[in-house]
Amino acid sequence: MTIGWHFDNTYSKLSNTFKENIKPTPVHDPELIILNEELASTLNLDFSKTDKKKLAEIFSGNSIPEETNTIAQAYAGHQFGHFTMLGDGRAVLLGEHLVNNDNRFDIQFKGSGRTSFSRGGDGRAALGPMLREYIISEAIHSLNIPTTRSLAVVKTGEKIVRENLLQGAILTRVASSHIRVGTFQYIAATQNIENLNTLVDYTINRHYPEIKTSNSKALDLLNLVMEKQCQLVINWMRVGFIHGVMNTDNMAISGETIDYGPCAFMDHYDPKTVFSSIDKFGRYAFSNQPPITKWNLARFAECLIPLIDKNEDTAIKLATDLIDNFQNIYEDKWLNMMRDKLGLFGEDKDDKKLINDLFNWMEKNKADYTNTFCNLMDINSNELYKNNEFIDWKNKWKKRSEFNNSTKEKQSKLMKSNNPIVIPRNHKVEEALAQADEGSLDKMKKLLDILKNPYANQNNIKEYQLPASLNNEKYQTFCGT
């Protein structure tokens, strides 16, 4: 019997500055809760002949696959603007699994026990937050947005202490790598140029081999990462996703969405929407995601200054000019993304005003973000959209659409590929998590099944399209540590 693991662990071969060699802490009584068979197939892994008890042993870290070299990675991070030396305080990287000899994926346990980076924490994770990451990361993947993914969740059979006693759990996360802006910050803080060069070369070899022979590798890397991160946040804005904890240690150099802590999707449109219980001042609110992306990239640029140019003033100018261009790149991409959402081809000087007028109406009338665009596709009508102001706006939109020099069918196709019909509605996620905590995955599995096809107008999904009823109770999410 063979599962098909094929580990090749290049990151663990870096010097000890980059990591700690450590194994997951064994757990008392592991139980497999969910296995992502579709992802397993993508990874050329076959668990069909492995019983649930053995799977629980594997995905809890009690039984480590051969050829792994388990480590906790070192990194730093600006957490809500404050710099801290961090690292994997509750995660262990098993290694890099190769698919077809050239596609490399990190396999990481989250909630696998204490490491030297735990800073007094217990190194464990609770069932609810791990299942939340499973649901949301799979939803983001189905929305065609780059993301880490979830392969499995096990219960540990142990209780962990948070506000209350909670069921312990471990999530297996799959990523193209776990190299973060914070990884560069950690190495830069040690002021070891050799290690910084090593990290730049490693990152380029792994993610951006097209610039391996460049004479300006550090600047080119900064430019490529900026492009990827800009496109990522554009996609978040497209679907109303709020990451919730955009610290520099949660910005992956690969351009994937990483770390699903206090994340959630916006219901009624409000650019100031915040769900995180610890984001008291709205630093990571919906509308702040683009400027925070730029801020994080500026911290990345600071790390690379010694490698951009031997003359520090020249290096700072080159990096500053590049980062300052973020706003222009973002605005162009955002405007084109919004044209796609509205099914508009070409460009018109009044497009930005047309889009902003829609957002102003949505905010004033507490219109649902997702369903407003569905309404424009003749899906999901209700009394709100019979509002005279909205009808006037819609007439302007239709008039602009006439300049498309394209067919109604093409417009419809463009809109349907950019506007999801279903998203992980926060109250439906909470319902699924509450039931899972009581031992049933029925609601979670049904939710996951519907979220696999977010752009399709499926049958019997009405309850998954409705936002939670407006009340005075603020919906909050928590980071899980």
Is position 59 within any domain?
A: yes
∠ CA 215-220-221 to the nearest 5 degrees?
120
Helix or strand or coil: residue 422?
Answer: coil
Q: Is 437 exposed, middle or buried (0-12, 13-18, 19+ CB in 10 A)?
A: middle
Domains: count for the chain:
1
Token pair belonging to 178: 């776990």
pLDDT in the model for residue 480: 54
Contact 193, 463 (CB under 8 A): no
Is position 226 within any domain?
A: no
Is position 56 within any domain?
A: yes
Q: What are phi and psi of 87, to 5 degrees?
A: 125, 175
DSSP line for 124-172: BEEHHHHHHHHHHHHHHHHTT--B-EEEEEEEEEEEEESSSEEEEEEEE
Q: Which residue, 238, 280, 274, 270, is CA-closest to 257?
A: 238
Q: Which residue, 118, 85, 96, is CA-closest to 202?
A: 96
Element housing 206 (H / E): helix 193-207
Is position 78 within any domain?
A: yes
Measured torsion, CA atoms of residues 262, 267, 272, 277, in degrees rounded to the nearest 10: -30
Please give the Cα distance from 400 to 477 (Å, whole number): 40
DSSP line for 263-285: -EE-SB--TT---BTT-TT-TT-
Is position 204 within any domain?
A: no
- Torsional class of 343: left (φ above 0), alpha (ψ -120 to 50), beta (otherwise): left
Token pair belonging to 376: 């424009």
Q: What are phi and psi of 160, to 5 degrees?
A: -120, 155
Contact 60, 169 (CB under 8 A): no
Count how many residues are written for the chain.
481
| Residue 80 structural domain | 11-175
Contact 104, 8 (CB under 8 A): yes
∠ CA 125-128-132 to the nearest 5 degrees?
105
**How many helices and strands, by DSSP H and E, does the chain display?**
16, 12
Q: What is the pLDDT along the chain (481 residues), one digit of tens a residue?
A: 589 999 999 999 999 999 999 999 999 999 999 999 999 999 999 999 999 999 999 999 999 999 999 999 999 999 888 898 889 999 999 999 999 988 999 999 999 999 999 988 899 999 999 999 999 999 999 999 999 999 999 999 999 998 889 999 999 999 999 999 999 999 999 999 999 999 999 999 999 999 999 999 999 999 999 999 999 999 999 999 999 999 999 999 999 999 998 899 999 999 999 987 677 778 999 999 999 999 999 999 999 999 999 999 999 999 999 999 999 999 999 999 999 999 999 999 999 999 999 999 999 999 999 999 999 999 988 899 999 999 999 999 999 999 877 788 999 999 999 999 999 999 999 999 999 999 999 999 999 999 999 999 999 999 999 998 776 556 566 555 5
- Torsional class of 378: left (φ above 0), alpha (ψ -120 to 50), beta (otherwise): left
Contact 70, 21 (CB under 8 A): yes
Is position 282 within any domain?
A: no
- Reported in sequence order, the residue ranges of 322-408 that DSSP labels E, i.e. its strands, are none
Is position 455 within any domain?
A: no
Query: pTM score, two decimals?
Result: 0.95
Please give the Cα distance from 38 to 44 (Å, whole number): 10
Is position 111 within any domain?
A: yes
Catalytic residue among 106, 249, 259, 279: 249
Q: Which residue has the tokens 């602009």?
A: 400
Please give the Cα distance from 412 to 344 (Å, whole number): 10
pLDDT in the model for residue 164: 87
Q: What is the DSSP letter of 73?
A: E
pLDDT in the model for residue 380: 80
pLDDT in the model for residue 469: 79
Token pair belonging to 286: 């919906």
Q: Is 392 a catalytic residue?
A: no
